[in-house]
A and B are shown apart, each in its own frame.
Chain A
Amino acid sequence: DQQVKQNSPSLSVQEGRISILNCDYTNSMFDYFLWYKKYPAEGPTFLISISSIKDKNEDGRFTVFLNKSAKHLSLHIVPSQPGDSAVYFCAASVSGGKLIFGQGTELSVKP
């Protein structure tokens, strides 16, 4: 049972445009959501997080939106840069416990 799903395996955008990565979840007990960025042969790098009591969190070019009724979250990157090209994972947890990850979306930002 895949509790966290990223339905788009890949996404390609032009430099300077917005990248929108999506994530759906099924477990209504999740109360914390995180986005990680991963390059090949490296560990995931924490990007941004959001608590279930909020619906938006911003950090520089990165914004995460949470729609609890739809059990959906998204990561917006504006403007996208070639260095943003990587695999992005969303993850969810209950009260700081284990992270449940989606399958990842590979973002390619073209110059």
Chain B
Amino acid sequence: DAGVTQSPTHLIKTRGQHVTLRCSPISGHKSVSWYQQVLGQGPQFIFQYYEKEERGRGNFPDRFSARQFPNYSSELNVNALLLGDSALYLCASSLESPGHSYEQYFGPGTRLTVT
């Protein structure tokens, strides 16, 4: 079975531009979360979606937005890119079940470099 997939793998953008990152969850998983990881730190929570509804939002500016589609895939959009947005962007999916499976499974990430 395929794991979480993310595209693109790497991306180089210029300050002020806009970027869209994509994520496909594990088949059957209905919840998708986005995290940002900068070097030397643990991943920081950006958004969580379940059944196309936003479940949570981290402490990120409004330049960051996301959505989840009917097939449970998701997009993360970042507007007006800053140098500080350079990071590894991780997508994670989890299976919401009556027994509440709380494990989140991560994709390989998208490495964004802003110049």
Q: List residues of chain A with CB under 8 Å of any chain B CB.
A: 4, 32, 34, 36, 41-46, 49, 89, 91, 93, 95-104
Number of interface residues of B (CB under 8 A): 28
Which residue of B is nearest A34, CB measured?
B103
| Chain A positions within 8 Å of B94 at CB level | 96
Query: Closest Cβ of chain B: how far from A102's Cβ, in Å?
Result: 5
Report the stretch among B14-22, B37-45, B64-72 that lies at the interface.
B37-45
Known A-B contacts A96-B94, A97-B56, A99-B33; the reply to A43 vs B106 at CB < 8 A is yes
Q: Select from chain A the residue with minimum beta-carbon distance to B106.
A: A43
- Shortest beta-carbon distance from B96 to chain A in Å: 8
Complex CA distance for A45 and B48, rounded to whole angstroms: 19
Residues 53 to 91 of chain B near chain A (Cβ within 8 Å): 55-56, 58, 90
Ordered by A's residue number, 7 sampled pairs between the chains whose C-beta atoms are within 8 Å are: A43-B108, A89-B42, A95-B100, A96-B94, A97-B55, A98-B33, A100-B45
A91 to B111, CA, bound (A): 22
List A contacts of B43 (CB < 8 A): 44, 89, 99, 101
Instruction: Taking A42-B108, A43-B107, A95-B100 as given, write out 19 further A-B residue pairs in contact, using a Cβ cutoff of 8 Å, ordered by the A residue number.
Output: A4-B42, A32-B102, A34-B102, A34-B104, A41-B111, A43-B92, A49-B103, A96-B96, A98-B33, A98-B56, A98-B58, A99-B33, A99-B45, A99-B92, A99-B104, A101-B44, A102-B42, A103-B40, A104-B41
Which residues of the partner chain A approach B55 to less than 8 Å between Cβ atoms?
A: 97
Given the interface pairs A99-B43, A101-B42, A101-B43, the reply to whether A46 lies near B105 with Cβ below 8 Å is yes
Q: Whose C-beta in chain B lies nearest to the C-beta of A90?
A: B42
> Across the two chains, which residue of chain B brings its CB closest to A104?
B42
Residues of chain B lying within 8 A (CB to CB) of residue A93: 102
